[in-house]
Amino acid sequence: MDHARERAAELAADMAGVLYALRVEPDPGFEYISPSIESLIGYTPEQLMASDVPTLVRLVHHDDRGMVDQIVSAPYDEVIELSFRWIAADGSAVWARHRARKERRPDGSVVLFGAAQDAAAEASARAALAESEQLYRLVAE
């Protein structure tokens, strides 16, 4: 590993968020995922990089899989931002805010480069707002 890659890996390890490179074509799988993934969802980078496609699919909450399709079907080099739930090693759903970009490499492979951050507070605020709006409508009626 050259110095730049070593330094990038060190910086990624110190980040609160998760950085990843997910190969979409051919042979889907993580090429890289930062160590901070373990504190977010309980899987080590090594476990995820060794995962097969069905395991990777199960990492995304079944109600949110369409959002992942939005990233995969987005135009190349367009940055997509959205939140969806990952399923943690303990079975719990963990909201994460993703910012990702799809790239086609010269060899023809397609990779998603992304960053994810814990979005539990954001999801909680959205739920509280929805509950408040519903209560307001009931009172107004």
Determine contact, residues 115/30, Cβ cutoff 8 Å. no
pLDDT tens track for 60-110: 999 998 887 888 888 888 998 988 899 999 999 999 998 999 999 999 999
Determine contact, residues 29/51, Cβ cutoff 8 Å. yes
How far apart, in whole angstroms, are the C-alpha atoms of residue 21 and residue 103? 10
Q: Take residue 25 and report the two structure tokens written for it.
A: 């074509």
Q: What is the pTM of this model?
A: 0.70
How far apart, in whole angstroms, are the C-alpha atoms of residue 12 and residue 99? 15
pLDDT score for 91: 94
Element (H, E) at 116: strand 110-118
Q: Considering the chain, what is the average pLDDT of its residues?
A: 80
Write the DSSP assignment of 12-68 as a string of letters: HHH-SSEEEEEEEESS-EEEEE-TTHHHHHS--HHHHHT--HHHHHHTB-GGGHHHH
Give how far Cα 13 sits from Cα of 48, 53, 67, Å: 16, 25, 27
